[in-house]
């Protein structure tokens, strides 16, 4: 089992540093010094054939000359010498070795051959190997720092990483905040010990409550899944090598097979792993799991000294599916008793700059039972803030803008085991990771489609035929259409155009024709034209009983192509905004659109086209030819020109225009004009 075989690595009774150096600039010196300065309780043996003493410790020419038993060897010698050193370790009875040295599989075929030789020798002696090409280990609870820099603060998170720098950054941040780690492990090339061994080990480690794992690719996915079957602690995963070039970079860095990112996403979903996208999230999420209790639900109250910070927190909470619920009426009066008179008792609850730590404490005590989490935002230098937070309580603490007071109070909070976050967004996002999806509400996102507010008193809607005639007169390509005031005319035009045809209500009273059943596509016979016409007439009479039915627009069915939306709206505050996106549900549900304020350059128009998520469809797919995006840009130019030259247009929507490889055609439009 990993626990038994890795105790020699993480809990050795004695350590030898092979390649120890008298030169302070060499790693062999720094690592030896850090082992000494970390307060390691066991015997330390520097191995250097040319020195008698280093840091006051007697040196030995070879590990085989050490008179006593050696559990762990830390190897810092040139790559070519490593196989011989590992063989000597085996003859000495060493149980584990950390190979700091690089120049193995990550360096190419020759290095890979050398690494394989090391593995073969180690296995013949039953030595467990960490590395090579790694930054070592740091176990504050033992204590043992066979790494750099020297950090000794004990904490709750085990940081396991293929990258020494990523792990060192994590450990540095935990140490800076006075939270520390339970362990730091740099895996390097993973020639033997890998994430499977380490996750299994720290899952049983009593000093570890959360595991933070950075990988560029799993070494053995089936074995890793078996470990996850028995995982009892939160695991935060940061997986790099997600894009095509990132995958190539990962494979050249440590010869890792980065793999299909979608499969890693599925793995995280199946086993409930928390996935981070950045190093900052990696840190924040691990910190949250280690020091915050799991909320029972998603109701959160923000108590703040800063209205702005409270709003930012609310925005992020909405994005994460947390419920910023109003303060219950039954406790409003109770809360008013302890807050400034000018404070508005709502959520977020802004205590203003007059707030004291005691006010925060009183509000928390009176509201705690009504919320799953209280978000405390100290947005000013609030003295004694550390005295009113609760270790292990249902609180998440944010401190910002407090200068020296903030730094002092944060340090006191961390000393009490209360994590503090530097911004509302980071705190809320980290907190949200503690809640499973089924306990969250709907995630709200800012709309990408601008709200187009229109004063109906001073505007008029053009009918469909009027809108198409207008666009046609402006030089934009519209599909052929005919106005049919009665069903006989509709049948006549349908016969001339050829079936199938489309029928659409031609009304200046209805902005969204589909809402009243005013659009029917693929009408295939004269009889069907009559049925559809009569159905639309009856429905129109039900919706607008005081107006005669205006008839329909008949148009041929356009050939299949790519549907897009193009449009513009004149906003009183910001000016005219131009909009482009894929049509249909892509704009209505996914809001896959791009926008720009007029005036725009041609380069900006191309940016608009290419920045929507669905832009790849224009490159051609499944045998379909690509779309010349110049056509789209010309269409957007036409709309921009209309808005710049005709000040009466308030809103212009073309939805859809249908794109073909060398042209596009407008099949529906909505225009609102000033009266």
Q: 392 and 334, same structural domain?
A: yes
Provide mean pLDDT across the span 417-437: 95
Give the confidence band of 449 by pLDDT, cuts at 50, 70, 90: low
Contact 299, 398 (CB under 8 A): no
Q: 634 and 540, same structural domain?
A: no
Q: 590 and 506, same structural domain?
A: no
- Quote the CA–CA distance of 299 and 375 in Å, as a whole number: 11
The whole domain housing 498 covers 480-556
Q: 141 and 29, same structural domain?
A: yes
Cβ-in-10-Å burial (0-12, 13-18, 19+) of 278 comes to exposed
CATH number at residue 364: 3.40.50.261
- Quote the CA–CA distance of 538 and 615 in Å, as a whole number: 41
The reported pLDDT for the residue numbered 443 is: 74
Q: Indicate yes or no: pTM above 0.95.
A: no
The reported pLDDT for the residue numbered 592 is: 84
Q: Return all residues near 402 (Cβ < 8 A) that are at least 6 apart.
A: 378, 379, 380, 381, 382, 409
- Quote the CA–CA distance of 506 and 570 in Å, as a whole number: 24
44 pLDDT exceeds 90? yes
The reported pLDDT for the residue numbered 223 is: 95
pLDDT digits (tens, 9 = 90+) for 388-412: 999 999 999 999 998 999 999 999 9
The reported pLDDT for the residue numbered 252 is: 57
More confident residue, 456 or 496: 496
Provide mean pLDDT across the span 437-442: 84
454: in domain:
no
213: in domain:
yes
> In 3-state terms, what secondary structure has residue 579?
strand
Provide mean pLDDT across the span 639-658: 95
Give strand ranges (E) for 583-628: 593-597
- Which of 163, 155, 164 lies closest to 183, judged by CA? 155
Give the confidence band of 246 by pLDDT, cuts at 50, 70, 90: confident
The reported pLDDT for the residue numbered 251 is: 61
220 pLDDT exceeds 80? yes
257 pLDDT exceeds 70? no
584 pLDDT exceeds 80? no
The reported pLDDT for the residue numbered 442 is: 78
445 pLDDT exceeds 70? no
Q: What is the mean pLDDT of the chain?
A: 92
Work out the number of other CB atoms within 10 angstroms of the CB of residue 314. Answer: 20
pLDDT more than 90, % of the chain: 84
Provide mean pLDDT across the span 351-368: 92
369: in domain:
yes
433: in domain:
yes
CATH number at residue 577: 3.30.470.20
430 pLDDT exceeds 80? yes
Give the confidence band of 204 by pLDDT, cuts at 50, 70, 90: very high
CATH number at residue 131: 3.40.50.720
Provide mean pLDDT across the span 520-530: 97
pLDDT digits (tens, 9 = 90+) for 370-390: 999 999 999 999 999 999 999
The reported pLDDT for the residue numbered 222 is: 93
The reported pLDDT for the residue numbered 2 is: 53
Helices 109-124 and 82-92: crossing angle, nearest 10°? 10
**What single string gives the DSSP state of each residue in 249-315?**
HHHHHH------HHHHHHHHHHHTPEEESSHHHHHHHHHHHHHSPPPSSSBEEEEES-HHHHHHHHH
Give the confidence band of 353 by pLDDT, cuts at 50, 70, 90: confident
Q: 522 and 490, same structural domain?
A: yes
587 pLDDT exceeds 80? no
* Cα distances (Å, whole numbers) of residue 419 to 174, 410, 415: 10, 8, 9
The reported pLDDT for the residue numbered 447 is: 63
Q: 348 and 247, same structural domain?
A: no
The reported pLDDT for the residue numbered 586 is: 64
Q: 247 and 268, same structural domain?
A: yes
- Quote the CA–CA distance of 183 and 230 in Å, as a whole number: 20
Tell me phi and psi for residue 379, to 5 degrees. Answer: -100, 15
pLDDT digits (tens, 9 = 90+) for 150-190: 999 999 999 999 998 899 899 899 999 999 999 999 999 99
Q: 255 and 112, same structural domain?
A: yes
More confident residue, 447 or 59: 59
Q: 101 and 13, same structural domain?
A: yes
Q: Name which of 4-13, 196-205, 552-561 the model is least confident about.
A: 4-13
Provide mean pLDDT across the span 525-548: 95
- Which of 97, 87, 125, 134 lies closest to 8, judged by CA? 97
66: in domain:
yes
Q: 189 and 329, same structural domain?
A: no
The reported pLDDT for the residue numbered 1 is: 43
More confident residue, 1 or 645: 645
pLDDT digits (tens, 9 = 90+) for 271-297: 999 999 999 999 999 999 999 999 999
The reported pLDDT for the residue numbered 512 is: 87
pLDDT more than 70, % of the chain: 95
Give the confidence band of 517 by pLDDT, cuts at 50, 70, 90: very high
Which of 237, 258, 289 is the C-terminal boundary of a domain?
Answer: 289
Q: Please name every residue paired with 658 in a beta bridge, in sequence order, or none if there are none.
A: 563, 665
The reported pLDDT for the residue numbered 241 is: 78
> In 3-state terms, what secondary structure has residue 79?
helix
Contact 441, 322 (CB under 8 A): yes
Which of 556, 573, 608 is the C-terminal boundary of a domain?
Answer: 556
Question: Domains in the chain: how many in total?
Answer: 4
Contact 133, 188 (CB under 8 A): yes
444: in domain:
no
CATH number at residue 540: 3.30.1490.20
Which of 386, 414, 439 is the C-terminal boundary of a domain?
Answer: 439
> In 3-state terms, what secondary structure has residue 173?
helix
The reported pLDDT for the residue numbered 452 is: 58
581: in domain:
yes
450: in domain:
no
The reported pLDDT for the residue numbered 564 is: 95
Give the confidence band of 4 by pLDDT, cuts at 50, 70, 90: low
Q: Which residue has the tokens 């036409």?
A: 638
Pairing state between β 482-484 and 144-147: unpaired
The reported pLDDT for the residue numbered 460 is: 94
Q: 307 and 159, same structural domain?
A: no
Q: 187 and 239, same structural domain?
A: yes
């Amino acid at each position: 089992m990993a626990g038994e075989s890795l105790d020699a690595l993480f809990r050795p009774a004695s350590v030898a540093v092979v390649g120890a150096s008298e030169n302070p600039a060499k790693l062999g010196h720094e690592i030896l010094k850090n082992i000494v300065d970390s307060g390691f309780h066991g015997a330390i043996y520097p191995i250097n054939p040319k020195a008698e003493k280093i840091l006051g410790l007697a040196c030995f020419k070879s590990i085989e000359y050490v008179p006593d038993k050696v559990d762990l060897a830390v190897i810092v010698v040139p790559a070519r010498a490593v196989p011989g050193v590992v063989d000597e370790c085996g003859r000495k009875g060493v149980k584990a070795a950390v190979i700091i040295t690089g120049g193995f599989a990550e360096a190419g075929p020759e290095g890979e051959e050398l690494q394989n030789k090391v593995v073969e020798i180690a296995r013949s002696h039953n030595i467990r190997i960490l590395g090579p090409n790694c930054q070592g280990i740091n176990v504050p609870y033992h204590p043992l720092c066979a790494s750099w820099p020297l950090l000794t603060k004990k904490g709750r998170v085990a940081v396991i990483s293929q990258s020494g720098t990523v792990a060192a950054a994590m450990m540095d941040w935990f140490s800076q905040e006075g939270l520390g780690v339970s362990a730091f492990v740099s895996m390097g090339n993973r020639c033997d010990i890998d994430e499977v061994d380490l996750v299994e080990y720290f899952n049983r480690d009593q000093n570890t409550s959360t595991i933070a794992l950075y990988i560029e690719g799993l070494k053995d996915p089936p074995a890793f899944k078996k470990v996850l079957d028995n995982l009892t602690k939160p695991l935060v995963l940061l997986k790099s090598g997600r894009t095509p070039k990132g995958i190539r970079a990962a494979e050249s860095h440590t010869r890792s097979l980065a793999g299909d990112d979608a499969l890693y996403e599925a793995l995280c979903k199946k086993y409930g792993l928390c996935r981070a996208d950045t190093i900052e999230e990696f840190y924040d999420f691990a910190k949250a799991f280690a020091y915050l209790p799991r909320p029972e639900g998603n109701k959160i109250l923000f108590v703040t000294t800063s209205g702005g910070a409270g709003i930012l927190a609310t925005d992020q909470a909405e994005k994460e599916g947390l419920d910023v619920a109003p303060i219950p009426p039954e406790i409003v009066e109770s809360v008013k008793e302890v807050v400034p008179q000018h404070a508005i008792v709502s959520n977020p609850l802004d205590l203003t700059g007059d707030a004291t730590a005691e006010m925060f404490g009183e509000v928390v005590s009176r509201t705690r039972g009504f919320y799953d989490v209280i978000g405390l935002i100290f947005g000013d230098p609030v003295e004694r803030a550390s005295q009113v937070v609760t270790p292990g309580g249902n609180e998440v603490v944010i401190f910002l803008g407090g200068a020296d007071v903030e730094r002092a109070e944060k340090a006191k909070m961390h000393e009490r085991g209360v994590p503090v976050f530097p911004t509302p967004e980071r705190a809320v996002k980290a907190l949200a990771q503690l809640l499973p999806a089924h306990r969250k509400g709907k995630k709200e996102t800012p709309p990408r489609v601008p709200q187009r507010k229109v004063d109906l008193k001073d505007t008029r809607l053009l009918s469909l035929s009027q809108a198409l005639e207008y666009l046609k007169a402006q030089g934009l390509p519209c599909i052929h259409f005919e106005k049919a005031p009665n069903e006989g005319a509709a049948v006549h035009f349908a016969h001339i155009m050829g079936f199938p045809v489309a029928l659409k209500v031609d009304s200046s009273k209805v902005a969204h024709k589909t809402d009243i059943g005013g659009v029917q596509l693929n009408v295939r016979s004269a009889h069907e034209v009559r049925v559809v016409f009569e159905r639309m007439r009856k429905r129109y009479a039900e919706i607008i009983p005081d107006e005669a039915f205006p008839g329909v627009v008949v148009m041929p069915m356009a050939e299949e192509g790519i549907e897009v939306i193009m449009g513009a709206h004149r906003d009183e505050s910001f000016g005219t905004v131009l909009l482009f996106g894929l049509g249909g549900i892509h704009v209505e549900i996914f809001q896959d659109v791009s926008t720009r304020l007029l005036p725009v350059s041609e380069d900006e128009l191309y940016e608009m086209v290419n920045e929507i998520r669905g832009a790849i469809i224009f490159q051609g797919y499944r045998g379909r030819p690509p779309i010349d995006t110049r056509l789209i840009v010309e269409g957007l130019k036409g709309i921009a020109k209309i808005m710049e030259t005709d000040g009466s247009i308030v809103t212009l929507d073309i939805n859809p225009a249908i794109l073909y490889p060398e042209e596009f055609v407008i099949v529906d439009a909505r225009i609102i004009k000033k009266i």
